Amino acid sequence: MTRFRLTIEYDGRAFMGWQRQAHGPSVQQALEAAVHDISGEEATVQAAGRTDAGVHASAMTAHLDLKRQMTPFRLMEALNARLKFAGAPAAVLDASEAAPDFHARFSCIGRAYAYRIRCRRAPLTHEQGLVWRRPNLLDTGAMQEAANHLVGRHDFTTFRHVHCQAQSPVKTLDRLDISVEGELVTVHAAARSFLHHQVRSMVGALVTVGEGRATPADVRTALEACDRSALTLNAPPDGLWFVGAVYPDIVG
């Protein structure tokens, strides 16, 4: 039995999320079907994060175990061929052998997301579903000031989905930075782990500040309220990308 470590990218528009489910296609299901096609084995593909419907990934780490003897390169090539044949918008960017005790989720010590916002009046064409369009320019300085209130260890109940299954709402947010490149505003978030909808909820709050509908102090007040009803706006999944997982050996 060999454990393989994969780096995967996917377009979340075609999926109901990462996790296998009965009511629609998932990234996990597509990969597991591809594994079965090439090996005949019922392998489970575990990921560093369970992205929601419509959320994308540019570098999701995952692992699986196979009895069949294959080189990592052959596995990667075979999986990509099956995914392409199935019409699944996902690709394996890298594959390697992993230690038997490596676990994509439980070995992970850090996760990073990027949320992309396109500021323009015109409707989206090429980027529809891949970014969040806002019609006006955002005050990114005010957004960063608001973001600074969220960095650190806090009770993030306000920014937590009502159906979040995490045992505690307390998380340590290591990074929440704003970058700007022309019309594109990107919110970069990093932490050991996140609550369900935490990144989208934080971005929604920051955008209300960037549009002048709230102040940085309002975001701090919402955080301290520890009340979901204090959240002004939850950003859609369109602009959210899982961009990296961190492990004790390397940064992925």
3-state class of 237 per DSSP?
helix
And the tokens for 250?
Answer: 């390397």
Q: What is the model's pLDDT at position 250?
A: 58
Query: Do 169 and 206 fall within a single domain?
Result: yes
On the CB side of 127, CA atoms within 13 Å amount to 18
CA nearest to 77, candidates 38, 42, 32, 27: 38
Q: Are residues 77 and 21 in the same domain?
A: yes
The reply to whether 122 and 30 lie within a common domain is: no
Considering its fold, how many domains does the chain have in total? Answer: 2
Which residue ranges of the chain lie beneath pLDDT 50?
251-252
Do 50 and 152 lie in one domain? The reply is: no
CA distances from 247 to 46, 148, 208 (A): 15, 26, 34
The reply to whether 77 and 120 lie within a common domain is no
Q: Does residue 40 come out as left (phi exceeding 0), alpha (psi in the -120 to 50 range) or beta?
A: left
Domain span including residue 193: 114-246
Out of 11, 52, 155, 227, pick the active-site residue: 52
| Residue 61 DSSP SS3 | strand
Q: Which helix (H) or strand (E) holds 10?
A: strand 2-10
CATH number at residue 185: 3.30.70.660
Is 52 in the active site? yes
Q: Which two tokens stand for residue 128?
A: 């529809």
Tell me if 148 is assigned to some domain: yes
Q: Do 125 and 240 lie in a common domain? A: yes
Spatial neighbors of 119 by CB under 8 A, at least 6 apart, are 133, 134, 135, 136, 137, 138, 183, 184, 185
Q: Provide the 3-class DSSP secondary structure of residue 41.
A: coil
| Pair (90, 212) in one structural domain | no
Write out pLDDT tens, residues 45-85.
999 999 999 999 999 999 999 999 999 999 999 999 999 99
Task: Decide the pairing of beta strands 110-119 and 132-134.
Answer: parallel
